[in-house]
Amino acid sequence: MNQSGRTTYLDHAATTPMVPEAIAVMAEELARTGNASSLHASGRAARRTVEEARELIAERFGARPSEVVFCSGGTEANNLAIKGLYWSRQAQDPARNRVVFSSIEHHALLDPVTWLAKHEGAEIDMTPVDGAGRILVDELRASVAAAPSQVAAITMMWANNEMGTVQPIAEVVDIARKYDIPVHSDAVQAAGYLPLDFTASGLDAMTITAHKLGGPVGVGALLIRREVEPTPLLHGGGQERDLRSGTIGVALIAAFAKAVDITVGRQGETVDRIEKLRQRLIDGIRNVVPDAIINGDPLSGPDHRLPNIAHVTFPGCEGDAMLMLLDAQGIECSTGSACDAGVPQPSHVLLAMGYDDVAARGSLRFSLGHTSTEADVDALIAALPAVHERAKRAALVRTTS
């Protein structure tokens, strides 16, 4: 808790609180009984709830209902998309063994791709990014054109989870279409803050998840064109177009749909409000820590960056130390670094953008959401000077000892 007695939550890009409407829907559905695959009245009622949710999500994201395949979340959807596309293309033509992706993908996509390389003989081709964290389109174009008949699929996140930088998805699709290569995009971070239209995008598959949109953890969806037939990961009852077998979580799906309806419906006003909060946060950080570096695209808007993410490097500090010092003050944020056997590792995103290990370790991500207020931003700015000074002293002691 901070001095006001409340937690300041600035980690909405990790997960955002459920909207009250979704909580209410989920509670109502949890009180009901019915397997959506059963033929009796309770089963038919459950199926109706699922199909109405499917139709609503499809409408909000510019897809056909039959293109919405429910999964347990973004990680499963990404695995189904990239592994499923790879295996199905391999079955058609064993020469198609390349997967093209960006150097800044979330581990929910990066790890399935590297798994394919290790276990399935895939050749993986990583597209570099510029200093703002945006892919170099000319590099992608040259990579694909060098051997297009060998490319099984291209996968490219819509917006980066650490920087908030928006990727040129339309250009990626244009490159792929020339060679009839399927394209998948992880739109988990983008879905709540950008106007996404699956059909208009030209994508073959797109990942979304509920808990980034004010819905529950444990449910997401892969939007995938009817004409595309990836190889399933799970086999069983044949649910979800036979692409994702398993008993359907009716309450989760109903809450997911309600969250999508609320969040996408309010997107315009939410984006405006949160962009102003982000600017307040950035101005405040620069005022109290003048040498702080704001990373990513400096321009706002749907072609540049998400409005809710501020990624900041604090020279001379360890991000992990600052995170824990802020946490002790009741202020919650995140660091791009990951832990491997208890040893902090620098963010692969920052390394791909050209930062060295020291700068990559000295960064924090502050992410805003639908419950964020000016008081949250002000609490961070009030606590930051002392936290920064203490973290800087600690880092100096470590380097001189």
C-alpha to C-alpha distance for 209 and 218, rounded to whole angstroms: 8
Residues marked as catalytic: 339
The residue type found at 23 is: I
Q: Is the separation of the CB atoms in 181 and 151 below 8 Å?
A: yes
Inter-residue contact 241 to 225 (CB < 8 Å): no
Can you give the length of the chain in residues?
401
Place of tokens 């990513």: 296
Bridge partners (DSSP) listed for residue 102: 127
Q: Residue 310 is encoded by which pair of tokens?
A: 């501020």
d(CA 150, CA 139): 17
In a 3-state reduction of DSSP, which class is residue 256?
A: helix
Contact 106, 188 (CB under 8 A): yes
Q: Which two tokens stand for residue 206?
A: 């797109």
Burial class of 265 by CB neighbour count within 10 A (0 to 12, 13 to 18, 19+): exposed
Retrieve residue 293's tokens. Answer: 């570096």
Residue 171: both structure tokens together: 């250009």
Dig out the tokens for 371 from the structure. Answer: 């419950």
| Alpha carbon distance 381, 8 (integer Å) | 11
Residue 353 tokens, joined: 């953008």
Whether 257 and 56 have beta carbons less than 8 Å apart is answered as: yes
Give the 3-state secondary structure of residue 304.
coil
Give the three-class secondary structure for 100: strand
Between helices 137-146 and 169-177, what is the axis angle to 10°?
20
- Judged on CB neighbours under 10 Å (0-12, 13-18, 19+), 75 is buried
